[in-house]
Amino acid sequence: MSGPSSMVTSLPEVPTGTARVKAEFLIGPSDKSVAPAIDDDAAEGGVIPQNDHKRQLEDASAQAADDAEPAAKKPKLSGAQRKKQAREDKKKNKGMNTNRKFSRTHDEIQLCWKVASGEICSEGLKCRFSHDIPGYLAAKPRDIYSPSASALSSTPPFVSRPEPSTPLEGVPASVDMNTTCPVFAETGYCRQGFKCRFLGGHVALATPTIDGEFTQKGDTSSSSSGNLSLVVDEEKRKLMEDMTREGNIMPMSKVKDIRSRKYPIPITEAYLEELNRQADQPDGPEDAEDEPPNPVLAEPLAPKQPTTPFDDSPDVPMRPQEKKRLRWKGLTYLAPLTTVGNLPFRRLCVDLGADITCGEMALATSLLSGSKEEWPLIRKHPSEKTFGVQLAGHKPSILAPIAEVLKTELGPSGRGLGALGPGNGLDFVDVNCGCPIDLVFKSGSGSALLDAPNRLGKILVGMNRALGEIPLTIKVRTGVKDGKNTAHKLMPKLDPWGVSAITIHGRTRQQRYTRLADWNYIKQCVGALRNAVTNDEDDLPPIPIFGGGDVYTAQDYWENLEKSGVDGIMVARGALIKPWIFTEISEKREWDISSRERLDILRKYAEYGLNHWGSDTQGVNTTRRFFCEALSFQSRYVPLGILESVPRLNDRPPAFKGRDELETLLASGNSQDWVKLSEIFLGPAPAEWHFTPKHKSNAYADDAGNG
C-alpha cells in the first residue's frame, strides 16, 4: 500500500480538471512558443489568452484611460449591478464568431471550365470566361508540391522537397512536372483539368515522334493545348470509379421541383390529411398535447399515385418490424458534427475504424427551399458503408416531405432502388432532438422537441411512413432543463412511433458541455427501453440504444459501455480532438501517436478535401479552411507520452512543449500556425485569405490577419 500511496502524494498539486503533464515538458508563462490551453467553459465564455499581446496592450491602454478619467465620471455600481454587468460581458464574448466571413479566392484569369477540361465550349465567343490556355498558364501561380508520407518529418521544415528541376522547353513556368496531383493519383483523372493547382501531375509534354504522332504519358488518353496535353489514365479511372465517386448528389432539376412544390409526395399528403381529420375531432391530438398520435404503422394510407413494385420483391410480404430493427450492437458510431464533420473528415474516421457515419445536421426548411448549401450535406463517400442523414425540423409538414424525397431518390442503401440508382442510398435517417443552439431551439426544433412529445410523435410516425424501408432513428439529450431529465419517458413510445434506434447524449440542453455526462441516467433509459420493447420474433434484434458524452479514450468507451448496458457509443468531441480514437477503441489500447503519424493523418485529410472540394484555386482554399477548422480541435490533443496519467475529455493541460518541434507546433492554439501547417500540403495561403475560428476562444492571433 505504501508504494502507490507515496507515488500519488509525490505528484504536484494541480487544480481539478487539469491534465497532469510531466515536469520536463512544462514551460513557464514567459515562453511564447505554446499557447495556454482553453477549456470548454472558456470556449463558451471567451477568456482572453495570456499571450495575446496586442489585445493585452489594448486592454492596458483602455485601463490607463479609465484611470486617468476623473472619478466623478465613474458610476458607482452595487453588487447586483456588478454581477449583472459581468454576466452581460460574459454573454458578449461567449459562443461563436457569428460575423466571420471566408472570401472566395479566384485565379487572376478566369478560365472556362469546358476549355480547362479539354472540351469545346458551346458558347464560343459569347462565353464570358477566357479560352486562352497559354495566357492562363502564364498568369497562374506555380504548381503546389504534394508531399508523400515518406517525405514528412518531425523536424523543421517538416517536409523534404525535391531539388528544383531545370524547366523544360515549352513548359510554362507555372507547371511543375515533379509534383503529384492527389486527385489524379487516386482516380486516374482530374476533373479540374488545366485549372488544377497540381497540374504537373497529369499533363504530358507533347513531342512529335518519327511517325508525326505525339507521345503520351503511359497507357493514357489526353486532351491537348499547345505543348501540353491533359492525361487521363483510363484503366485506373474505370477501376477506381465505383470506389471514389461520391453518391447522393441531388440533381438541380429535382431540387428546383422541391423548391417550387412540384415534387410529388403522395404519402406525406395522405398523412397530413389524416392529421387534419384527427385535429377536427373534439378529442383529437391537438386537444391532448401529452398523448401520442395513433401511429397506424402496419397499415399506412395508400399513396394517391400507384407505385411500381420492385422486380426483386419477395413473394412473402415484408414484416413491419424488419425495417425498424438495426443490427448495430458492437459498432462504433461517429456523431453528426456541424462544420467539421464533413465528408472528408468522415472518410478519414472510416479509415481509422469508424463503422457508422452520419452527415452534418441539415435543416429541413432549407432543404425544402432548395438551398445549394444544404443539399450537399446528404452526400456520402463509397467507403461509408453504414451512412445516414440527420434532419432538424419542428413539425410533420416540414420533415415528412423531405423524408419522402429521400426515400424516392435514394431508396434502401446498397440495392440501387432509388431514382438516383446504384452508388447512392441511405442506411437510416436521423431526427435531431438534441441540438441546444438557441436558433434551432427557439424554432421548436432540436432539443425543443423533448418538451413536445405529441408533436414529436406526429413527426416520427409521418416520417416513418414516408421513408418506406429506410430505418428512422433519433438523437436526444437527457432533457431540456438542468435537473429535469425527461428522456426516459420517451422510451416506451419509441417502438409504436417506428423508431429503429436511439442515441442519448448524457446532458440536458441547459448544461451544454459544462458538466460530466450522466451515464447512470443513460443506464436508466436503457432499462426503460428494454422493458418497453419485446420481440415477438426471436430473429429480430431489439432497438439499439447508443450513449454519448465524455468519451476520449478506449478506457472511457469500454467502461461506459459496460456500466450503462448500451449497444454502442456515439463519439463526438473525442473524434474531433483525436480522430484515431476509433483505432484505440477497436484495439482496446491507448495510442501514444507520434507527431509524424499525426502529420500524416492531416496529409490524408488534405488529400480527401482536394478530392471532395476540388484541386483548383477555390477548392484548395476551401480545403485549407476546413483543414484549419479541424486543427482548431486537434490542437487540443495532449500527447500521451508527456502525461503522467490518462486525462479525461474535459481536463486541460498547463502550457507545455512537445517531444519534438512538430509536436509543439501541432499543440499551438494560434490560428496562424494552423495556416502554416496547411501550407505544407496546400501551398502558400493567398494574401487576401484569412481564417477566423468558429468559436471566439478556440484560437488567438497576433493580429486580425489569420486569426
Active site residues: 435
Q: Dihedral, CA atoms, 191, 195, 201, 205, nearest 10 degrees?
A: 110
The one-letter code for the residue type at 300 is: P
Say if CB 508 and CB 480 are below 8 A apart. yes
Query: What three-state secondary structure class fits 560?
Result: helix
Q: Identify any residues that bridge with 695 across adjacent strands, giving them in sequence order.
A: 96
By C-alpha distance, which of 563, 687, 548, 541 is closest to 621? 687
SS3 of residue 649 by DSSP: coil
Q: Which residues pair with 26 in a beta bridge?
A: 656
Instruction: Give the total residue count for the chain.
Output: 707
Set of cell numbers at residue 568: 454502442
Tell which residue, 410, 375, 389, has the closest CA to residue 346: 389
> Is 50:36 a contact under the CB 8 Å cutoff?
yes
The whole-angstrom separation of Cα 452 and Cα 442 is 13
Q: Are strands 228-232 and 203-205 parallel, antiparallel or unpaired?
A: antiparallel
User: Which residue(s) pair with 678 in the sheet?
Assistant: none
**Which residues touch 65 (CB under 8 Å, ≥6 apart)?**
none
CB 558 within 8 A of CB 586: no
Tell me the one-letter amino acid at 438: D
Cell numbers for 151: 517525405
The one-character DSSP state at 154 is: S
Please state at what angle helix 396-410 crosses helix 252-259, rounded to 10 degrees.
160
Q: Who's near 600: CB < 8 A, 6+ residues apart? A: 149, 152
Backbone angles phi, psi at 473, to 5 degrees: -125, 165
SS3 breakdown of the chain: % helix, strand, coil, rounded to 5?
40, 10, 50
Q: Could you give the CA distance from residue 525 to residue 547 in angstroms, rounded to a whole number?
A: 10
As given in the structure block, the three cell numbers for residue 61 are 491602454
DSSP state of 358: E
| Cα gap 75→139, rounded to integer Å | 61
> Taking the CA of residue 526 as centre, how many other CA atoms within 13 Å lie in the half-sphere pointing to its CB?
23
Cβ atoms of 298 and 461 closer than 8 Å: no
**For residue 127, what are the CA distances in angstroms to 61, 224, 334?**
56, 20, 45
SS (H, E, C) 627-646: HHHHHHHHCCCCCHHHECCC
